Chain A
Amino acid sequence: MSDIILKAENISKQYRLGLVGTGTISHDLNRWWHKIRGKEDPYLKIGDVNDRSTKGTSDYVWALQDINFEVKQGEVLGIIGKNGAGKSTLLKILSKVTSPTTGEIKTRGRIASLLEVGTGFHGEMTGRENIYLNGAILGMTKKEIASKIDAIIDFSGCERYIDTPVKRYSSGMTVRLAFAVAAFLEPEILVIDEVLAVGDAEFQKKAIGKMQDISKGEGRTVLFVSHNMAAVQDLCSRIIILESGKLIFEGNVNIGISKYLNQNNVSKGFVDFKKVNNIKSASFSHFEITNQKGEITSKFKSGEPITFKTMVSVKHLIRNPVFSLRISDLNNVNIITWRSNDFKKEPLPKMQKNNFEVTITTKTLYLLNGIYNISIGLADGKEVLDSEIKFEKFEIFPSKPNDEFHSITKEKSTNSLIYSAAIWNVYEK
């Protein structure tokens, strides 16, 4: 009980859609009229679930609805969700920028937030002056900043520019500086939103490392919002998923991420591409995945042969057809690509105007359990004729105890994606 540092209870937030203008004053008056008679706010009752894409019936929406969660001391909690799911609203409430419509958040530590880049940076002031200003905005005292300024400058890697006005900085450098200031903050709870999106690879790595230090080494709590699943996976010890203002998942990172990435599209094992394009000289019309027995499925055991079958309608002669099939993981990391002309294979024969069926069967593909994307493509020589990217998923699931690969796949202890047989030897010398 005592190690719970932050607790959100029934947090809801209502927003009004549309223009704030002539209509609002009547609502304000009505609200005030209800208030002086001691009645409930009439507009609190109405309000739709916040789904950005559908047309609602009310002018009011719930950006957040009944959010409950707890964060333990030293935990890195990831918050993921689609655009408009309410992540930033939640962070804004947490960092006291706006207040919730109902509910409350209790905390045992001070919360500092790092929302977006260079908040409060003034272009005309030098890097050094901005470090002081930004640090103070984030809640540090001048003395604290002075004692850390060398470390901050060093971490940002902007030493050469530190006495130059920030308006001359590149956007990446601004982020570096901003992050460096925040990284040296010492609040009990640090809130971070999407800042890693802009820095270069080297800096992102550094930033993630620093955040791990903060949470693991120094026992501070971090709330981290990002669309970068790899970063979330690396950093967080637990995640919550928001969807249309509601909390739909709380718990394990890997389970949560695959649940999130899988939202709304359960693989059936086959796809019909509806939009057969008449302008293109060739287009895919159907795709399916089958197992050894010829059954259409999207679930396989590791090492089990998988047959990918696609139908192509060809409208013009293709002299030098090249098919490709790519498997990538959900973070879109390419795992393997097969091309029909790999390793100087015999080129495929010319294809006349007709319909064709193309199949490829894996022989030795030991993917570990997880969900994978498929992409296919067809080219004439180097000219791409048609491609379907990340259109279908299949799942490799843990095999049963008596299966061949059980010992590897039952628990994915590492973040690796494939298995390959190898022999270990240890000799005493």
Chain B
Amino acid sequence: MDNKKANQDWLYTISPKNSAINLNFKEIWYYRDLLLLFVKRDVITLYKQTILGPLWYFIQPLFTSIIFTLVFNTIADIKTGAGVPPFLFNLAGISAWNYFSACLNGTSDTFKQNQGIFGKVYFPRVIMPMATVLSNLIKFGIQLLVFVSFYIYFVFFTDIAYNTSPSIYIIWLPLVVIIMALMGLGFGMMISSMTTKYRDLSFLVGFGVQLLMYGSAVMYPVSLIQDKVQLGELPIWVGNVIEYNPMTTVIEMFRFMMLNVGSFSFIKLIYATTISVIVFLLGLIVFNRTERRFIDTV
């Protein structure tokens, strides 16, 4: 009897067994300051000892958009729709895509990057990828500002953007951002968990993300693919891969909200949301399973 009572007194027990979903939200809440400090660390240390500093936030998407516009729109002659400047079209796609890929790349080597600190102290490991996603959100916000300034320039100071206007669906923007974050985080956590023991996946991530970009309608509208499939110029399965790739949906919707090009459907939004939640939960489970043992295998 006495023994039983004494057992209940223990604050917690460290034991080998661990259930699959053991996400201790109370603990994460307790470490919320750490989360914010990691975000702060990521933001302030990224461009330390660089001359241009945070300007790099602007330069990256800007130059990529210029190159994309040159290659895909001027040379390859992809039509982005009448009255929509290709540059804005690309900048919108790249900004959104960058956020997803930064989340994925940033979280996919969580365990490898932080094995030093993870090997020394305990805190909920999931704080690390969460911090990556949040600090990238700040970067995304800045890039969105860049986009908005170019938007204003094109709409008010040129006459090529006569058909460009934000759509009413822009109220769904936060959801789209969350979908991107969840998806990047989910895949990132899965990959980081799997690479602790077998490093093969980490080789895949680098170019895999780049390849995925071409399959996610970043530099072309989905309607173009649909047309090509109908004309028989493109195999149907390729069309399906692009069409049902949840990132395509996200990019397409993002552009629709910002520029009013492309299409919007709630079914697709629900589809993308569901996929992202599943990916996120799956990532969380895998991550949690790895968390306890990874330090022995990394």
* Chain A contact residues, CB within 8 Å of chain B: 1-2, 15, 20, 24-25, 92-110, 112-113, 115-116, 119-120, 122, 124-125, 129, 132-133, 136-142, 165
Q: Are A97 and B16 in contact (CB under 8 A)?
A: no
Other-chain contact of A124, B18, B48, B197, B198 (Cβ < 8 Å) = B48
B293 contacts A by Cβ under 8 Å: yes
Other-chain contact of A136, B12, B15, B33 (Cβ < 8 Å) = B33
Q: Are A109 and B11 in contact (CB under 8 A)?
A: yes
17 contacts between A and B (CB under 8 A): A2-B9, A92-B295, A97-B122, A97-B295, A98-B292, A102-B16, A104-B14, A105-B14, A106-B14, A107-B13, A119-B116, A122-B41, A124-B44, A125-B45, A136-B31, A136-B34, A142-B37
Q: Are A108 and B18 in contact (CB under 8 A)?
A: no
Other-chain contact of B296, A15, A25, A95, A137 (Cβ < 8 Å) = A15
**How far is B121's CA from A139's CA once the two chains are assembled, in angstroms?**
9
* Chain B contact residues, CB within 8 Å of chain A: 2, 6-7, 9-16, 18, 30-31, 33-34, 36-38, 40-41, 44-45, 48-49, 116-123, 197-198, 292-293, 295-297
14 further contact pairs, Cβ within 8 A, besides A95-B120, A122-B45, A139-B31: A95-B122, A99-B292, A100-B15, A103-B15, A106-B7, A112-B121, A113-B122, A129-B40, A129-B41, A133-B37, A136-B33, A137-B121, A137-B123, A141-B30
Q: Are A99 and B34 in contact (CB under 8 A)?
A: no
Q: Are B295 and A105 in contact (CB under 8 A)?
A: no
Q: Are B297 and A20 in contact (CB under 8 A)?
A: yes
Q: Are B295 and A1 in contact (CB under 8 A)?
A: no
**How far is B48's CA from A98's CA once the two chains are assembled, in angstroms?**
33
Q: Are A98 and B31 in contact (CB under 8 A)?
A: no
Query: A107-B11, A108-B11, A124-B45 are contacts. A92–B119 as well, Cβ < 8 Å?
Result: yes
Other-chain contact of A96, B2, B14, B197 (Cβ < 8 Å) = B14
Closest 4 CB pairs of A and B: A96-B122, A104-B15, A136-B34, A119-B120
- Please give, as numbers and ranges, the residues of chain B lying within 8 Å of A142 by CB-CB distance: 33, 36-37
Q: Are B18 and A99 in contact (CB under 8 A)?
A: yes
Q: Are A116 and B120 in contact (CB under 8 A)?
A: yes
Q: Are B121 and A119 in contact (CB under 8 A)?
A: yes
**How far is B137's CA from A122's CA once the two chains are assembled, in angstroms?**
22
- Please give, as numbers and ranges, the residues of chain B lying within 8 Å of A137 by CB-CB distance: 34, 117, 121, 123
- Please give, as numbers and ranges, the residues of chain A lying within 8 Å of B15 by CB-CB distance: 99-100, 103-105
Q: Are B119 and A97 in contact (CB under 8 A)?
A: yes
- Please give, as numbers and ranges, the residues of chain A lying within 8 Å of B11 by CB-CB distance: 107-110
Q: Are A125 and B44 in contact (CB under 8 A)?
A: yes
